[in-house]
Amino acid sequence: MLDYNMRSLFENLIELKKENYFRLAEEADYIMNNGISDSYKIEHLLDLLYDSIYDEVSSNKYIDLCFYYYRIDKDGGLFYLKLLK
């Protein structure tokens, strides 16, 4: 019974990450497409995106936003890129 409950818990967690990721990806696209340079907003979104990585696509969106941020703040962009290693 415990194994089933744990499996169910992890499946729900993955589904929540996916749902959250799609909302965050739209926000990341908006920031990048509109040239927004608010460091606080970008860093907050990177923190949330990092927590929502669940596959290669979500990882790539995070990396795209890191490189975008790197053009605004090199140290900040590198900091977030290094979190993936």
What residue ranges do the domains of the chain occupy?
2-82
Question: So what's the pLDDT on residue 6?
Answer: 85
The secondary structure of residue 55, as a DSSP letter, is: S
**Residue 85's pLDDT is what?**
81
pLDDT digits (tens, 9 = 90+) for 55-81: 899 999 999 999 999 999 999 999 999
What is the average pLDDT value for the chain, to the nearest integer? 93
pLDDT in tens, 16-33: 888 899 999 999 999 999
Distance from C-alpha of 40 to C-alpha of 21, rounded to nearest angstrom: 19
